[in-house]
Amino acid sequence: MVKSATTKDDAHALFHSLRSAYSATPTNLKIIDLYVVFAVFTALIQVVYMAIVGSFPFNSFLSGVLSCVGTAVLAVCLRIQVNKENKEFKDLPPERAFADFVLCNLVLHLVIINFLG
């Protein structure tokens, strides 16, 4: 009983500390995080749909899921490069980071459209 209580306490403490630390992040990073969550959620919906309906045009399924995963990952990369706390990227102008992000997304979606079938 004690163990589960401490695990629950741990989880609560964890949750609270995470919440307080997260609310301190700047708004632009929170927007990127929201986008990432949205993309991952869309990917999950597609996987559930595939589980229900079957994966017949497999290339379409793959292109759909990978486009969501791809934009999520690229958005995370953008967040890393724009985040002021990262010392390694402090001389990278955020415009350059965003331009790279747009370019990679462009290539990603061109390939997706070719692969969609």
Residue 105 near residue 55 (C-beta atoms within 8 A) = no
> Nearest Cα to 111, choosing from 70, 54, 55?
70
> Which member of 8, 22, 84, 93 binds another protein (CB under 8 A)?
22
Classify residue 93 as left (phi > 0), alpha (psi -120 to 50) or beta: beta
**88 sits near another protein (criterion: CB under 8 A):** yes
The CA distance from 36 to 79, in Å, is 10
Q: Kindly identify the residues of this chain, within the stretch 24-53, that bind another protein according to CB under 8 A.
A: none
Shortest Å distance, C-beta 45 to another protein: 19
> Which member of 49, 107, 116, 117 binds another protein (CB under 8 A)?
107
Residue 67 near residue 112 (C-beta atoms within 8 A) = yes
Residues in touch with another protein (CB under 8 A):
7, 10, 13-14, 17-18, 21-22, 58-59, 62-63, 66, 69-70, 73-74, 76-78, 80-81, 86, 88-89, 92, 97, 100-101, 103-104, 107-108, 111-112, 114-115
